[in-house]
Amino acid sequence: MLQTGLMMERPLLLSSVIEHAAKQYGDVEVVSRETHGPLFRYTYAQCAARARRLANALKSLGLAPGNAIGSIAWNNHRHLEAYYGVSGSGMVMHTCNPRLHPQQLIYIINHAEDRVVLFDATFAPLVKAIAPHCPQVHTWVCLADAANTPSIEGINSVRSYEELIAPCSDDFEWPEFDERTAAALCYTSGTTGNPKGALYSHRAIVLNAMAGCMPSVLSLSPNDAILPVVPMFHINAWCIPYSAPMGGAKLVLPGPKLDGQSLYELMESEAVTISAGVPTIWQALLAYMEPLGLRFTTMRKTGVGGSAMPQALIAKFMDTYQVEVRHGWGMTETTAIGTMGTLLPKTQGWTSEQKQALLAKQGRSAFGVEIKVVNDEGNTLPRDGTSQGELMVRGHWILASYYKSETSPLVDGWFPTGDIATIDAEGTMQIRDRTKDVIKTGGEWISSIDLESAAVGHPAVAMAAVIGIKHPKWDERPLLFIVRKPGASLEKEEILEFLASKVAKWWVPDDVIFLDSLPVGGTGKVQKGELRKQYGGVFS
Ligand code: ADP
């Protein structure tokens, strides 16, 4: 007969994370770039005290557990305080991506029923445009002191964050409630239809953040200083604002300054050991460092994901800069990290190229997430590294249903990701493409990701993107977009010849378009939808 274990059942609540940091790592620093420029620094103990003050301030605004609070903000210390003050009070922290179309922003703020919206001064014009269409928001709080809070024409309800919390006590008893209570809300980008809400529970976030500290994931400890470039306005910044205080790591928040020079200088001045971001950010960082011959003094590791990290870029980080690359995969619906790649001891004798080829894959699932790939009939495919099908996930921090939606997205209890992947015998997953990006040609598939990675391997290429264009005979054919490195010369014939030496002949794109830049969305990903809109004609 089964017996119940005789252990305590303490709920997994986010308030416990910041209080843990305050008590155990009270003097570990949080450094934050203010929206108006200067660096601000304090400790986890001070951060926790201000989160409690915010909790009291929210109460004074008449808010109650269950209410949603929106944010349109950079990675900074006040946003961090809100992560804890809001969720810790039993309210829902609704992070909004400022680069969504204003109509979509209005839609999600109304859909989430945000009562208060916290915003950075950068986004004052946006707030001015959307506020009249968000009647349920009664207070707009600028994450600044009074001097740096702009007045916004037509909106009387703008408050300064510092003024709001100043009169409040930092004494606050965090409420205790069911760990399945909603803590945060993030909407998908809504490339098709309206954005859909992923409503994260305290339990899901705490467990994901614990996984983030594991050596096989981000490996965060008091020996680290982590700089998340991944935005706090999307997918919880991969839960780093939770796992850093949990692991006792110093947290360095870059605010609005995300260009290569600012990031490099902050990494150096704050002795950052690990960072995390999408590949386009790393491309920009290296584009700044390379011509100046700069090197990292303390950076040892970088987490990368959100879109595929080309092998050539992994090689550059590892060989030239001695920075270990951790390539992971996740999506809005998976709270944060789902899989992460690391090298197993048996790869010790491998060549650098072999290791980098392995790290170009998206890695093994973290404990807490199960993965499988299925064919069109829903049958599980073998873990042989070549059978490709739709990636399905389930686990402690995987979405079960969308916010306020009647229909379940699940298939037999698994979440269908819309990504096409393979899994090998060791559990290493490789994203081959998104179902909407894969190029279907003559009944076969071409992976746009593989073609882009190959193109970025050419020394004159800064960025590459591939889309499928309708073709009367072959259904679709690949069209390649290239951004040349500054000062580099490269013509169509040369890049096509280069690709012919790297991929199957029938994969070689039918045409190449050179651009000055690629359209990049709010989360730093190339917007292939935009390219399709503009260039998606028919090949003859
Ligand atoms: P969107 O990109 O539409 O804003 P998300 O931010 O939720 O949505 O992104 C999730 C998607 O990003 C995944 O489904 C996958 O297609 C892609 N993705 C995430 N990490 C990687 C990676 N390491 N390699 C390739 N694709 C990735």
Q: Is 9 a catalytic residue?
A: no
Find the angle CA(66)-CA(71)-CA(75) to the nearest 5 degrees: 125
Q: How far apart are CA 388 and CA 67, in angstroms?
A: 43
Report the nearest-CA residue for atom 27 of ligand 1.
307
pTM as predicted: 0.94
Domain 14-30+43-221 has CATH 3.40.50.12780: yes
* Residue ranges in the chain modelled with pLDDT below 70: 190-192, 540
Atom of ligand 1 nearest to the CA of 334: 7
Distance 307 CA to ligand 1 centre (A): 5
First to last CA, the chain: 71
pLDDT of residue 154: 87
Distance 83 CA to ligand 1 centre (A): 23
The one-character DSSP state at 96 is -
Distance 468 CA to ligand 1 centre (A): 18
Report the nearest-CA residue for atom 13 of ligand 1.
331
Within 10 A of 201 (CB to CB), how many other CB atoms are there? 20
Q: Is 188 a catalytic residue?
A: yes
- Contact partners, residue 34, CB within 8 Å, separation at least 6: 40, 76, 144, 148, 255
pLDDT of residue 372: 98
pLDDT of residue 191: 61
Pocket test for ligand 1, best of 95, 302, 331, 419 (most atoms within 8 A of CB): 331
Q: Which of 29, 128, 445, 492 is catalytic?
A: 445
Q: How far apart are CA 133 and CA 178, in angstroms?
A: 34
The helix or strand, by DSSP H or E, that contains position 183, with its residue range, turns out to be strand 182-187
- Contact partners, residue 494, CB within 8 Å, separation at least 6: none
Domain 437-540 has CATH 3.40.50.620: no
Distance 288 CA to ligand 1 centre (A): 26
pLDDT of residue 192: 60
Residues contacting ligand 1 via CB (< 6 Å): 188-189, 191, 235, 305-308, 327, 329, 331-332, 362, 417-419, 431, 434, 523, 525
Distance 132 CA to ligand 1 centre (A): 33
Mapping DSSP onto H, E and C, the string for 243-272 reads HHHHHCCEEEECCCCCCHHHHHHHHHHCCC
Q: Which of 440, 470, 497, 506 is catalytic?
A: 440
> DSSP assignment of 405-428, as one string?
-SS---BTTBEEEEEEEEE-TT--
Distance 304 CA to ligand 1 centre (A): 11
Domain boundaries, the chain: 14-30+43-221, 437-540
Atom of ligand 1 nearest to the CA of 434: 16
107-113 long-range contacts, Cβ below 8 Å, gap at least 24? 107/194, 107/195, 108/187, 108/195, 108/197, 109/70, 109/134, 109/136, 109/137, 110/134, 110/136, 111/187, 111/194, 111/197, 111/403, 111/404, 112/68, 112/70, 112/185, 112/187, 112/197, 112/403, 113/67, 113/68
Q: Is 333 a catalytic residue?
A: yes
Within 10 A of 411 (CB to CB), how many other CB atoms are there? 12
The one-character DSSP state at 520 is B
Q: How far apart are CA 254 and CA 512, in angstroms?
A: 36
Atom of ligand 1 nearest to the CA of 431: 25
Within 10 A of 302 (CB to CB), how many other CB atoms are there? 26
271 contacts 251 by C-beta, under 8 angstroms: no
Nearest partner of 260 among 309, 294, 237, judged by Cα: 294
Pocket test for ligand 1, best of 239, 419, 438 (most atoms within 8 A of CB): 419
Q: What are the tokens at 304?
A: 């990368």
Pocket test for ligand 1, best of 239, 415, 431, 435 (most atoms within 8 A of CB): 431
Atom of ligand 1 nearest to the CA of 418: 14
Distance 434 CA to ligand 1 centre (A): 8
Could you report the per-residue pLDDT of 97-146, keeping only the tens digit for each? 998 889 999 999 999 999 999 999 999 999 999 999 999 999 999 999 99
Report the nearest-CA residue for atom 5 of ligand 1.
331
Longest dimension (CA), the chain: 74
Atom of ligand 1 nearest to the CA of 362: 23
Which strand ranges, in their side-by-side order, compose the sheet holding 337-340?
A: 39-43, 29-33, 250-253, 225-228, 274-277, 301-304, 324-330, 337-340, 364-365
Nearest partner of 338 among 365, 362, 308, 358, judged by Cα: 365
